[in-house]
Amino acid sequence: MIKTIYFMFFICMFAIAMVACKGKSGDDFKNLSADEFERLIDDDQVQLVDVRTVAEYSEGHIPGSININVLDEKFSANADELLNPSQPVAVYCKSGRRSRNAAKVLVKKGFKVYNLDKGFEGWKELGKEIEQ
């Protein structure tokens, strides 16, 4: 009898844990292909942010982007200062990893965020427009 009670308790706790973890299982931003990202940033209402370092940005970037380095300890404060929370934000980095981290930070701040899935490298591979 006691073993049955412990077993039922275990099953109930496991079920509660599974439901609690499921609530935030996915990202709260959307990953886009280069073509989807290009269509999105054609909209003047989207804020385009390159989250790479200043040196990387100066070597080439997507036209119309602003640079807010996600590796800078002031990234969050810089984002607050430079971005309008009522407009969506499109972020990218070299390969998509840093921009995913930036997107998570921005989503927590209340921004609607889109991420360039394969980053600037994928953008360049497809021959998309860049500027120096």
Do 29 and 113 touch, CB atoms closer than 8 A?
yes
What Cα–Cα distance (Å) separates residue 105 from each residue in 12, 17, 90?
A: 34, 25, 13
Query: What's the average pLDDT block by block, 10 residues per block, for the chain (132 residues)?
Result: 55 48 60 96 92 97 97 97 97 96 97 97 96 92
Give the model's pLDDT for residue 2.
Answer: 64
Give the model's pLDDT for residue 3.
Answer: 58
Give the model's pLDDT for residue 4.
Answer: 58
Structure-block tokens of residue 115:
């991420």
pLDDT digits (tens, 9 = 90+) for 90-104: 999 999 999 999 999
Give the model's pLDDT for residue 16.
Answer: 53
Q: Residue 62, class by beta-carbon neighbours within 10 Å (0-12 exposed, 13-18 middle, 19+ buried)?
A: buried
The owner of tokens 């940005």 is 57
Give the model's pLDDT for residue 113.
Answer: 98
CATH class of 26-125: alpha beta
Do 96 and 70 touch, CB atoms closer than 8 A?
no
Give the model's pLDDT for residue 43.
Answer: 80
Domain boundaries, the chain: 26-125
Beta bridge partners of 91: 49, 115
Give the model's pLDDT for residue 12.
Answer: 44
| Ramachandran category for residue 31: left, alpha or beta (phi over 0 → left; psi -120 to 50 → alpha) | beta
